[in-house]
């Protein structure tokens, strides 16, 4: 199983130009600029955090991949309170003309959207 880590230096260049990110159930941002602004705001909150991702299942159809992952966020807020959350994510990747896989749809809330009537 592959583990990936999201850090303050993570680059939105892994996203397609016309990409969408579910920030919260019911709240979607589109495009690299909006996604970059989302992560800039997230990391400017001065919260010490670690996000680990574990790939559970990958299904490929031609130039698309649906990846299901488990992810966990652990952190300490500015007041020193520790906390964590675990979620299941669904992500759709598209292979570009150069053969590089780019993130087209990033849904870190996965099936939670269905149960919460999200998007």
User: Residue 51 belongs to what domain range?
Assistant: 3-115
Average pLDDT value for residue range 71-83: 88
Give the pLDDT band of residue 12 (cuts 50, 70, 90): low
Number of compact structural domains in the chain? 1
Give the pLDDT band of residue 42 (cuts 50, 70, 90): confident
CATH code of the domain containing 45? 3.10.450.50
pLDDT of residue 18: 87
pLDDT of residue 6: 44
Beta strands in 1-119 (DSSP E): 3-6, 15-24, 27-30, 48-61, 64-76, 82-95, 101-107
pLDDT of residue 8: 45
Partnered with residue 80 across adjacent β-strands are none
Pairing type for strands 64-76 and 82-95 reads antiparallel
DSSP state of 103: E
């Amino acid at each position: 199983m592959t583990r990936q880590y999201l850090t303050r230096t993570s680059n939105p260049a892994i996203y397609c130009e016309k990409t969408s990110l579910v920030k919260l159930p019911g709240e979607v941002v589109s495009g690299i600029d909006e996604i970059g602004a989302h992560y800039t705001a997230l990391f400017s909150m001065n919260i010490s955090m670690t996000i680990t991702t574990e790939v559970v299942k990958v299904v490929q159809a031609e130039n698309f991949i649906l990846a299901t992952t488990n992810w966990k966020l652990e952190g300490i807020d500015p007041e020193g309170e520790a906390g964590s959350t675990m979620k299941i994510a669904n992500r759709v990747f598209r292979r570009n003309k150069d053969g590089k896989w780019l993130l087209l749809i990033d849904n870190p809330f996965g099936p939670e959207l269905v149960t919460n009537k999200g998007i």
